Structure 1
Amino acid sequence: MSWDEYIDNLMAPEKNVTILIGAAICGQDGSLWAASPDMKKITPDEIKKLIGKTTSFHQCGPTVAGLKCMMLKDQYDDSKCPCLQLKSRPDADGATYNIVVGKSIQAVVVAKGTKESNAAQVTKKVYTMVDYLQSKGY
């Protein structure tokens, strides 16, 4: 299976409800393995910062594919759900998005929810993919 198929799987609706509008799978070195069109703008520096020390995110949140974010919850040390939950700043229309980052052995999974989806829904999608990738050695 190509990495693009993993993006399709991540973005697939659940019970006819679209949860994600963007997703990317990257290497922990910052390389982009696959991404939906709006997440192709994610940079190697952004990826490296997202999986690095998150202590500064409380004062100055990270940027994800050009979207300035604030940290909601850092769960990287939680073995049940090793994810970072972020919220984007409002866009020109005032919309905000939940963005969740998960890291596996070699990969970083980044997902951007729809305006309507909540952090738990996006986190579930990311965690399911991270868990699968880890089981395959990624």
Structure 2
Amino acid sequence: MSWQAYVDSLTGPDSSGNKTIEDAAICGLASGAESIWASSPGLSSLTADQIKKLAGNSSALRECGPSIGEMKCMLLTDDSENPSSYCMHLKASKNHGGFNICVGKAKTAMVIAKGKDGTAGNQVSTRVFPIVKYLRDAGY
């Protein structure tokens, strides 16, 4: 499956037929080569610096929340080391819609998903977790 197919799967309907993810991206985390591997249009403006910050130590994100593309965000919880989640849970500022965002980290890849308006954070992370788990198990 291509990287874009993973993004398309995330932004498509879930098993209940609901579309809960508005935008998604898969990024590479290799030091010095942080980049977008595939994305939907709403996350295509992610920068290498933003990817680096999201991949780094989350304690720095607690004081000054990260930006994802044009959205300023706040870190809610970091469950990226929890094997039942592997995600950081973020919320976009009210000026940027207040969307729930999930950032799942594998060894060399990161999955970012932005929920649709009104989508709860757990609905976003439920979609991201299987892909992150698969990537981790496959060595990514």
Does the TM-score normalized on the shorter chain lie above 0.5?
yes
Say which SS state the counterpart of residue 94 (structure 2) adopts: coil
| Alignment partner, residue 23 of structure 2 | 22
Identity %: 39
| Alignment partner, residue 32 of structure 1 | 36
Structure 2 residue runs of 5 or longer lacking an equivalent are: none
1:82 positional shift = 1.3
Structure 1 residue runs of 5 or longer lacking an equivalent are: none
| Alignment partner, residue 108 of structure 1 | 110
In the TM superposition, 1:1-138 aligns within 5 A as: 1-14=1-14, 15-29=16-30, 30-91=34-95, 95-138=97-140
TM-score, scaled relative to structure 2: 0.91
Counterpart residue identity of residue 115, structure 2: G
Distance 1:46 1:11 in 2: 21
1:59 positional shift = 2.0
Distance 2:45 2:95 in 1: 16
Give per-residue Cα distances to partners, 1:27-86, cap 9 Å, x unaligned. Answer: 013111000001000111101100101112222100011200011111122122111000
Give per-residue Cα distances to partners, 1:82-106, cap 9 Å, x unaligned. Answer: 11000000136xx310011011121
1:135 positional shift = 2.4
Structure 1 moving runs of 4+ over 4 Å: none
Distance 2:113 2:139 in 1: 21
Distance 2:101 2:69 in 1: 11
**How many residues are aligned here?**
136
TM-score, scaled relative to structure 1: 0.93
Aligned alpha-carbon RMSD (Å): 1.2
1:18 positional shift = 1.0
Distance 2:84 2:19 in 1: 24
